[in-house]
Amino acid sequence: MPRANLLRQRLLALFLFALFAFFSPIATRFEGVSNAFGIPALYLYLFGSWALVIGLAAWICSRSRE
């Protein structure tokens, strides 16, 4: 049971991190930034953050099985 609580706490912390990353003034800072490699910086930020959240969720869930 304590293992499940730790997993829930970690996933909740990841969820709050994702909320902050996607719905904060941080995301709007990339609107006016120029392109990087022909791709708008906002797209790079959003998809990079999304990939990071997915990777961290997979890592957290895989550690819980050990």
Helix, strand, or coil (residue 39) = strand
Q: Is the pLDDT of residue 50 over 70?
A: yes
Q: What are 17's strand-pairing partners?
A: none
Average pLDDT along the chain = 85
Task: Give the pLDDT score at 66.
Answer: 61
Percent of the chain with pLDDT over 90: 39
Q: How far apart are the first and last CA of the chain?
A: 15
